[in-house]
Copies of this chain bind each other. A is one copy, B any other.
Amino acid sequence: MPIELEPLQACPPPAAVAGPPACAPWKASVVAELAEVVRNEPVNAEYRHLVVSCSEAAAQAQPGQFFQLLCPQPAGEQPFLRRPMSLYGADPAERQVAFLYKVTGAGTRGLDTLRTGDRLDIMGPLGVGFRLDPRWRRIIAVGRGAGLATLAPLARAAKANGTEVTAIFSARRPELLVSVALFERHGAEVIAVTDSESTSGPANVERILRREIAERGCDAFFTCGSSRLMRVQQRLAREFGLPGQVAMEQQMACGIGLCYCCVRDFNRDGEIVSRRVCWDGPVFDLMEALP
């Protein structure tokens, strides 16, 4: 089936992303900068927590946005492209941003070599993040794997809005769960499901979601990191008429909408359209996402 492109009429008029030279002097809103590593340490057997001090602009990053990291070269390997990493936390006052990453290949192995005081070239903030409606009383976030890193900053942002959060976190084993303490610190309720305890299957997650909706209500769904769990939420969102947002992943080269390598298909009113995860997302309407 040929991928159809976004039809002409569906496109909003182009927003001027860069002001013409006549206006105010031009200023970069996306910068590649050498940030200084504050901390880079293991969280568990798979994940590392990286904190860097950065510019004011970078520290303004919003939940769901990401950075493109120019990873150092680990011995014998040469990652060439930057690697996308979700914002895990930002501290505008201290001018710091944090990432939570899993060591999987050359790039993340390179990140793992960073020591306090080293420099890391970070480019961002990039992409469209989560939108939180201040009127929402309660949202449910479902995540798995690196998706938990992406959802993490939601907890704080929701709290600032006075919105309650229930998080359903999925992992292979309990000791591989991350972000639980962070969510709980911001008053969120965390329900952990794992493969090792046989609680992570879609059926059980659906059961939990139905119970949560029934018992405590829900104004919106958020998800990242598992297309199987996303499908469960899509079904329930349709059933209960809930809005939802999903943060998608895709391999990236430029991270800023130039190269079209990061496209995924979306269902826009019955039509399959191709959109750039880095530029149109990474956060998309839950109902439009295709697994």
Contact = CB atoms under 8 A, between A and B. Distances in A.
A73 interface: yes
A116 to B, nearest CB: 14
A75 B119 CA distance: 10
Interface string A42-79: 00000000000000000000000000000001010000
Interface residues of A, number: 3
Contacts of A73: 73
Q: How many copies does the complex hold?
A: 2
A119 B113 CA distance: 14
A75 B34 CA distance: 12
A79 B119 CA distance: 20
Nearest to A78: B78
A70 to B, nearest CB: 11
A90 B119 CA distance: 36
A16 to B, nearest CB: 34
Contacts of A75: 119
A73 B73 CA distance: 9
Interface of A: 73, 75, 119
Interface pairs A-B: 2 shortest CB-CB: A73-B73, A75-B119
